[in-house]
Amino acid sequence: MSIYKNKGKYWVSIYFARRRFRKPSPDNTYTGAKAYESLLMQKLVRGQPIIEEYKQKEAAPTFRDFTKKWLDVYVRTNNKYSEILNKESILRAHLNPFFGDKPLDKIRGLDIESYKAKKLQSGQANKSVNNHLIILSKCLKMAQEWGLLENVPKIKLLKVQPQKFDFLTSEECQLLLDNCDGMLKEMVLVGLKTGLRFGELIALEWSDVDFKSNLITVQKSLSRGRLGSTKSNKIRYIPLLDDVSQMLKARSKKRGVVFDRNDNQPLNPMLCLRWLHSACRRAEMRKIGWHTLRHTFASHLAQGGVSIVIIKELLGHADIKTTMRYSHLTAQAIRGAIEALGMNFGHHLVTAPIINDNNILVSDLLENKISQKPQ
C-alpha cells in the first residue's frame, strides 16, 4: 500500500490478490488519503465488491489513433512549421509502422528496446534513433497528461559520440572570401562575423540593422519557406564590425530583406548552397555548408579565450551543453597563454588551472581573429 501525490492530487495505490488498484482520494489531503486507503483495504479484505470504486476504464486508443489527435490538437498549435514536418515524417516512416496498432497501455519497455534494436540493424545512426525515441517519449507523456495512460515506460537513449564540426582557419576564411563576389561575398562575410544560422541570415531585414549602434537584432528565421522565430525562440543582439557595417550601409534600404532576389523575396536555400560550393571549387578547398561559417565564428571566439557563456549568448543556444562543444578550444587558448607567461619567467607550465575571462571585448576579438591566423 502506498500514497503518492501526482500533479497536486493525492492517490491511493493498493496491491491485493495479484491486482493493482489505484484511485484518487476524494479528500485531497494526506490524512484524507490515508483514511480512504484504509476504507478500500477493509472492503477488499472482507471480500466486498469495490466495482463502484473502480469503474471499468475505456479501452486505450492505439498509438496511431492517439498520434493523429496529438498532431492535430497539440503539435500544430504549439510547434514551428519545421518541427511539425519533422514529427509527421518520423511518425509516418518509423514510429507508426512499429507501434501504430498497439494500444497505448500495452507499450512496454521491451517493445521500445525491440524498436531500438530493429532500427540499429537497419543501419540507422544512434542519433537518428534517439530523435525517434524523443518523439515517442513526448507522445506517451502527453497521453499520460491527458489521462489516457497511467504509466509511461522508461525510455533510455542510445549513447552518441560527441558531434564533430568543421571550421575554417583564418587563411581559409580569406581564401573563400577572395573567391566570392557580389551578394555571395556579403553573405559569407556576415556569416563569418556574426555566427547567424543560415535561416536567420536569409530572414534578416533592414529594419533589424541598426547602423547607429552597429548592432543587428536576430529575431526571425526562414525554414522550409516559412518565416518564424529563431530556433531557441529568443531575440539576440550581435555587434557589427566596421567592415561588415560599411559593406551593408553601402546598399542599405528602408525595408525588405537584406539578402534577396530581384523581386525582394527571400533567397532559395538550395541555390545559395550551390553558390557556396562553387566558391569552394574556385578556391580549391573542401566543400563546406553555411553552418560551417557559424562554427568558424564560434571557434575563433573560443580560440581567443572568450567565455563559453558569452559564446552561448552570441550563438543563441538554448542550452549551454550545445555550446560546450567549443570548450576544448577555449581551454587550449587559455593554456597556451599561461604557458607563454611561464616561459617569460623561465618556467614551464605543468599544471595550470583553466580560467574564463568574461572581460574580453568581443568586437576587438572578432576584428583580430577573423583576419589573423588563430594560435
Measured CA to CA in angstroms, residue 227 lies from 74, 120, 201 at distances of 20, 35, 12
**Cell for 115?**
524498436
All cell numbers assigned to 345: 619567467
C-alpha distance from residue 276 to each of 201, 204, 287 (Å) = 14, 19, 8
- Of 76-90, 150-164, 359-373, least confident by mean pLDDT is 359-373
Q: Where are the domains of the chain?
A: 2-45, 63-145, 166-375
Residue 52 pLDDT > 60: no
- Confidence band of 190 (pLDDT split at 50, 70, 90): very high
Q: Which helix (H) or strand (E) holds 16?
A: strand 9-16
CB 35 within 8 A of CB 16: no
| Among candidate residues 366, 241, 243, the one with its CA nearest the CA of residue 303 | 366
Predicted confidence at residue 368, as pLDDT, reads: 52
The CA distance from 157 to 276, in Å, is 36
- Sheet of 19-24, strands arranged across: 2-6, 9-16, 19-24
Cβ-count burial 148-179 (b if 16+ within 10 Å, e if not)? bbeebeebeeeeeeeeeeebbebebbbbbbeb
Confidence of residue 1 (pLDDT cuts 50, 70, 90): low
Q: Can you tell me the distance from the alpha carbon of 125 to that of 163, in angstroms, rounded to the nearest whole number?
A: 13
Using only the alpha carbons of the chain, give its radius of gyration.
28
Instruction: For residue range 129-169, list pLDDT tens digits in order.
Output: 999 999 999 999 999 999 898 889 999 999 988 777 899 99
Q: Which of 10-19, 40-49, 303-312 has the highest mean pLDDT?
A: 303-312
Give the residue-averaged pLDDT of 32-59: 71
| Percent over 90 (pLDDT), the chain | 55
Question: Which pLDDT score is estimated for 346?
Answer: 52
pTM exceeding 0.75: no
Query: In CATH terms, is domain 166-375 a member of 2.60.120.10?
Result: no
Q: Say yes or no to pLDDT of 359 above 50.
A: no
CATH superfamily for domain 63-145: Tyrosine recombinase, N-terminal domain (1.10.150.130)
Residue 254: what pLDDT? 82
Q: What is the pLDDT of residues 243-291, one digit of tens each?
A: 999 999 998 888 889 998 777 778 889 999 999 999 999 999 999 999 9
User: Given pLDDT bands bounded at 50, 70 and 90, which one contains residue 358?
Assistant: very low
| Percentage with pLDDT > 70 across the chain | 85
Q: Residue 375 above 50 pLDDT?
A: no
**Range name among 8-17, 76-85, 173-182, 358-367 with the lowest pLDDT average:** 358-367
Higher-pLDDT residue of 70 and 346 is 70
Q: Give me the pLDDT at residue 18, please.
A: 74
Residue 218 contacts residue 237 (beta carbons within 8 Å):
yes
189 within 8 A of 352, measured Cβ to Cβ: no
Mean per-residue pLDDT over the chain, rounded: 85
Higher pLDDT, 52 or 247: 247
The β-bridge partners of 222 are 227
Cell numbers that stand for 122 in this block: 537497419
Ranges of H-type helices in the chain? 30-45, 63-70, 76-78, 81-90, 96-99, 109-121, 126-145, 170-178, 182-194, 198-203, 242-249, 269-282, 290-303, 308-315, 320-323, 327-344, 362-369
Question: Would you state the cell numbers that stand for residue 75, as one nine-digit string?
Answer: 503539435
Give residue 56's pLDDT: 47
Higher pLDDT: 363 or 143? It is: 143
pLDDT in tens, 237-250: 999 999 999 999 99
pLDDT in tens, 91-130: 999 999 999 999 999 999 999 999 999 999 999 999 999 9
User: What's the pLDDT at 44?
Assistant: 78
pLDDT at 345: 55
C-alpha cell at 28: 485531497
Phi, psi of 18 (to 5 degrees): 60, 30
Does residue 90 or residue 337 have the better pLDDT?
A: 90
Same fold, 63-145 and 166-375: no
